[in-house]
Amino acid sequence: MSQKYKVEGVTPYDQTRPKKEQVTELFNQIAPLYDKLNGVLSLGIDEYWRREALRWIRHYHPEHILDLATGTGDLAILAHHILHPKKITAVDISEGMMAVGDEKVMAKGLQQVISFEKQDSAALTLPDNTFDAVISSFGIRNFHSIDNSFQEVYRVLKPGAPFLFLELTVPEQKVIKELYTLYTNHIMPVLSGIFSYRQEEYEYLPNSIAAFPQGRDMMLVLKKHGFKNIRLRRLTLGTTTAYIGEK
């Protein structure tokens, strides 16, 4: 059964247009500067988060990986180096972001391993029981339908295979939460403003983080869609959380 999550109503620009349309527009627009912006906003530790998450699934030895909401392909490239799969299918709704990713893949000579496809996470045109792992970093909160997307992930995974994703989260510890709130409300807008000309673009990030199901709530969402052996791992004082569940 599908339900509406608060984050699905958080949009970059306005409430009258579909979220999918607005997210695509936003990321196509910021694609040329996305990697630099992402590194600045995460204070340079976003690669550490991705590495830690990927090491969590090394023992599955996945040979064919789906990187969902790949963006500019950073997770896919790291997955190649850490997990050594034979093939990575990287998908996104933003052609602008994937174009940047494709350039990075070509520069590294990884085009025989990593391929990009435009796909809607809520309606994947990929076969059942295909992938040894599905991975994603910082993209789930942008989905216009989390339930439909998780159903699709479950469908395309092989039995026993992991679904691993990273998301920015609001820390639970009081002092850290206060520092986090100070950063997102006052420092992040200044940093984002260096790269963006529209207030809505940098307001969307903290708003979508705050509205995203976190911790136990997200584990229950995974359980609802049939995933088993569900775990989470909090990173950097709870500012980022890695989730994993198995089909």
Model confidence pLDDT, tens digit, residues 184-218? 776 766 666 666 555 566 678 788 888 999 999 99
- Does domain 6-246 fall under CATH 3.60.15.10? My reply is no
Buried/exposed 73-92: b ≥16 CB within 10 Å, e otherwise: bbbbbbbbeebebebbbbbb
What residues are paired with 115 via a beta bridge? 89
| Contact (Cβ atoms closer than 8 angstroms) between residue 141 and residue 167 | yes
Question: In what side-by-side order are the strands of the sheet with 114-118?
Answer: 114-118, 87-92, 64-68, 133-137, 162-168, 240-246, 228-235
pTM for this predicted structure? 0.93
Q: How far apart, in Å, are the Cα atoms of 106 and each of 24, 73, 100, 174, 208?
A: 23, 11, 10, 45, 32
DSSP state letters, 150-172: HHHHHHHBPTT-EEEEEEE----
Least confident of 106-110, 160-164, 181-185: 181-185
Q: How far is the C-alpha of 154 from the C-alpha of 140, rounded, in Å?
A: 15
pLDDT tens-digit series, residues 50-106: 999 999 999 999 999 999 999 999 999 999 999 999 999 999 999 999 999 999 999
> In what helix (H) or strand (E) does residue 210 lie, and over which residues does it extend?
helix 199-211
